[in-house]
Amino acid sequence: MKRAYWILIIIITFTAGCITGSFFSSNTNMDDIKNNGQNPQSTKTVEQKKKPKIIQPKSNVIMGYVQDFRDPDEIDYRPLSHVIFSFAHPMKDGSIHLNGETALNHLRAVVEKAKKHDTKVLLAVGGWFHLNGGESYEYFKEAIAQSTSRTKLVKELIALIEKESIDGIDIDFEHPRSDEDAAYLNALMKELSIELQPIDKELSIAVHSKIHSQSGTELGMVVYDPLMFQYVDHVNIMAYDGQWDGGYEAANLSPYPFVENIVDYWSNLFDEHGYPREKLVLGVPFYAQPEDPNSKQVSYAALINDNPKNSLKDTVNMNGTIYHYNGEATMQKKTEVSLNHGFGGMMLWEMGLDAKGSNSLTAAISEVIQSKDTSLQDN
């Protein structure tokens, strides 16, 4: 009886197994099984690991102003990241004017030549002197004081840079003298930023050094709203023209200690407001200031043409007049202190004043920047 019982269990188990195997064989998708006898492919999608994004160190800029009367063929575009073509002149109604057909033709030639060297071109607006004579301050202030004229100014600038394939705008309002002026300028920068960002154009602003060349203290006669710096790509600090602080003194044009105070001031200001220091660009002069106030400024090129050894100095007696300027060593020292403070590069006023060849100040500055950029890439 017990033996018959176990035989019955075996028969039932065998029969159930056959039925189950037949059922699963008829319901298996054979496309999931490779003919070479390997295991079936998984239906689960395997996510590919993303390659880590390599962030290239940002190269430091060299932004060189070029005045509208300069011969575009005389400019060396190779060391420049940006050419700032100077100037477009704002009118009180918000319209914008260039200095005649020659200026327009020069602008177009600069754009064409700069593109061949991957150099960007910005259009500078304002400056110290106005097309109609005198200072540009009153024209610029009235243009940005009212919303209608300010909007007209913005629209005309956008139309001009798009038509002429310009890479952005540089605002040079010299200088806001009150909280009211600062508010108008802030409003302008905001409106420009809103229009420029969607079309991938840059916005920069030229600013006063804000430091007294003799006392080293902050100047209150020029007023900025720091909030406007959030809207710009570059802040070009005019770290020169200290010769008029507290009475004319040519030696205060742009000595190294003056620039040290300027760099510290702007570094602290940007840290206080949480802005990246790489927006800051230190400006340097390519001209010499005479001790005799009745004499005219001379270009650095004129000093070198007189004697190439003047590149090694910061002071020279030429034609009976003592001139103060920045030679190669001082320029390189300024470039180093700028970069060591996290600034984004150097601004040059102005390219037409530089010497050619081995005594070029642009070349001396570029040498320091290239060394710094190479060091960052190696790290």
Q: Which residue type occupies 157?
A: L
* C-alpha to C-alpha distances, 259 to 65, 211, 242, nearest whole angstrom: 19, 9, 10
| Segment 254-269, tens digit of pLDDT | 999 999 999 999 999 9
The enclosing H or E element of 108 equals: helix 100-115
Homologous superfamily of 61-286+327-378: Glycosidases (3.20.20.80)
Predicted confidence at residue 203, as pLDDT, reads 98
Element (DSSP H or E) covering residue 13: helix 2-26
Question: What pLDDT score does 49 carry?
Answer: 33
The Cα 279–Cα 205 span in angstroms is 10
pLDDT digits (tens, 9 = 90+) for 282-295: 999 999 999 999 99
Predicted local distance difference test score (pLDDT) of residue 379: 56
Q: Can you say whether the dihedral through the CA atoms of 188, 191, 194, 199 is positive or negative?
A: negative
Please name the residue that has the structure tokens 């043409």: 305
Range with the poorest average pLDDT among 48-57, 91-100, 178-187, 312-321: 48-57
The confidence score (pLDDT) of residue 258 equals 98
Q: What's the pLDDT at 79?
A: 96
Q: What is the pLDDT of residue 3?
A: 38
pLDDT higher than threshold 60 for residue 42: no
Mean pLDDT over the full length of the chain = 87
pLDDT tens-digit series, residues 342-360:
999 999 999 999 999 999 9
What integer pLDDT is reported at residue 246 of this predicted model? 86
pLDDT at 31: 34
Contacts of 248 (CB under 8 A, 6+ apart): 293
Look at residue 124 and tell me whether its pLDDT is greater than 90: yes
According to the model, what pLDDT value does residue 134 have?
Answer: 96
* pLDDT average, residue stretch 263-286: 98
Start-to-end CA span in the chain (Å): 88
Percent helix, strand and coil across the chain, each to the nearest 5: 45, 20, 35
Categorize the per-residue pLDDT at 5 as very low, low, confident or very high, splitting at 50, 70 and 90: very low
Is residue 6 over pLDDT 60?
no
Predicted confidence (pLDDT) per residue in 152-197, tens digit? 999 999 999 999 999 999 999 999 999 999 999 999 999 999 999 9
Could you give the CA distance from residue 211 to residue 5 in angstroms, rounded to a whole number? Answer: 109
pLDDT of residue 337: 98
| ∠ Cα 106 347 129 (to 5°) | 55
